[in-house]
Amino acid sequence: MSAAIVALTMPQWGLTMTEGKVAEWLKPEGAALVPGDELVEIETSKITNAMEVEQPGVLRRITAPAGTTLPVGALLAVIAEADVADAEIDRFVAGFVAPVAEAETTAEPAAAPAMLEGAFGRLRYLEAGSGPGVPVVLLHGLGADLGGWMFTQPALAEGRRTIALDLPGHGGSDKDVGPGDPARFIDAIADALDRLGIDRAHLVGHSLGGAMAAGLARRQPERVAGLTLIAPAGVAPEINDAFIQGFVQASRRKDVAAVLALLVYHPALVSRSMVEDVLRYKRLDGVAEAMARIAQVWFPGGRQAHLLVAEAAASGVRMQVIWGREDRVIPAAQAEALASAERHVLEGAGHMPHMEKAAEVNRLIARFLAAGA
């Protein structure tokens, strides 16, 4: 019964991924799989991450041993119940056709970011998905961009519209952040939602983007169906000033790599390509000024000056908070202060749980969205 046989294929993480390398199998052939288990590490030019088991079964066949590089969609392994005959597995493998060759001719071209002319300059955004679900808007953190949601957005885009926005001063958006204060960013986000025709959305914000999401919820509560805040700024004054200053000032590869290493629990997650992307971003005209401005306005003297999440929590907005236990930028302990929020502290993750523990974060967001529907 081939219906009981499941193909595990090369994922596509991010817009530019066309192929990936099997770095390491974390389970041997024959292992019984439990959803949530880390199964295999995939290395791309951008990032290395583990794929998790999504449904139970036995890892019957590894078709792509560690070290092989394959295109997106190629077969990596076969999962089936123990009672499926080996011959069935053989036939499945022999008959497997990677959808890629077909996709090139028939499927729609991969989504590409678009630009909108906002009241405060041009903003880049990436839209994915459609359907009746409450739209999700994703707001990244300091110095990041919409690409940071590469593991998150595709998972949320089933049955709903999702928008990942490049904040002013970031990614492909204009680099002028004006005064750089919360009002300016919240104005720009609200304006972007107006222009995108989004009346009401669930906001997912990471770090600085979390504070901004909370700020928008405070200002336009009717517009915000709920908040998922991932390692958010704006809860309490404490923040790792060495990270902020390091990120603002680093201009050499070595320094950038050292600063980015603070973001994650497993330093291996920071690939040379991630470092290069940050370097390239930081070299763009206006970025140095934008970063310096934001750091100065939001984190003067190494302390958080705008506790927008704390204020939003007090106002009773529906909120969940997700933190990595090993966060070295904003301590996970700050979650405790948010008594009214659903709180999740993930083991083995740093400041980037949505990348480090993507599947778990995706599940938490999906559950929160379903509960609020």
Partner 1 sequence: MPMKTIRQALNEALAQEMRRDPRVVVIGEDVAGGAGTPGQRDAYGGVLGVTKGLIGEFGPERVIDTPITESAIMGAAAGAAATGLRPVAELMFSDFFGVCFDQIYNQAAKFRYMFGGKATTPLVIRTMIGAGRSAAAQHSQSPYHVFTSVPGLKCVIPSNAYDAKGLLIQAIRDDDPVIFCEHKLMYDLRAEVPDEAYTIPFGEANVVRDGEDVTIVALARMVHYAAEAAEALAKEGIDCELIDPRTTSPLDTDTILDSVARTGRLVVVDEGTPRCGVAADIAALVAEHAFAALRAPIRRVTAPHTPVPFAPSLEKLYIPSVGSIAQAVHDTYGYGR
Sites of contact with partner 1 (CB under 8 A): 175, 251-253, 272, 280, 283-285
147/180 with CB nearer partner 1: 147
Q: How far is the CB of 16 from partner 1 (least distance, A)?
A: 8
21/363 with CB nearer partner 1: 21
The closest of 193, 169, 192 to 181, measured between CA atoms, is 169
The closest of 320, 309, 313 to 368, measured between CA atoms, is 320
268/284 with CB nearer partner 1: 284
Q: How far is the CB of 83 from partner 1 (least distance, A)?
A: 42
280/303 with CB nearer partner 1: 280
Report the Cα 310 to chain-centroid distance in Å.
Answer: 23
What is the three-class DSSP state of 335? helix
DSSP label of 290: H
Q: How far is the CB of 268 from partner 1 (least distance, A)?
A: 13
Residue 202 dihedral angles phi and psi, to the nearest 5°: -90, 130
15/98 with CB nearer partner 1: 15
Q: How far is the CB of 40 from partner 1 (least distance, A)?
A: 23
Which position has the token pair 């004054």? Answer: 237
91/280 with CB nearer partner 1: 280
Q: How far is the CB of 113 from partner 1 (least distance, A)?
A: 10
What is the three-class DSSP state of 37? coil
Q: Which two tokens stand for residue 19?
A: 């192929």
4/114 with CB nearer partner 1: 114
- Amino acid making up residue 49: N
Q: Which two tokens stand for residue 32?
A: 């019984």
Burial per residue of 60-69, b for 16 or more beta-carbon CB atoms within 10 angstroms, e otherwise: bbbbbeeeee
For residue 57, with 0-12 CB atoms within 10 Å meaning exposed, 13-18 middle and 19 or more buried, which class applies? buried
Q: What does the alpha-carbon distance between residue 81 and residue 78 come to, in Å, rounded to a whole number?
A: 10
91/272 with CB nearer partner 1: 272
CB contact at 8 A, 56 and 33: yes
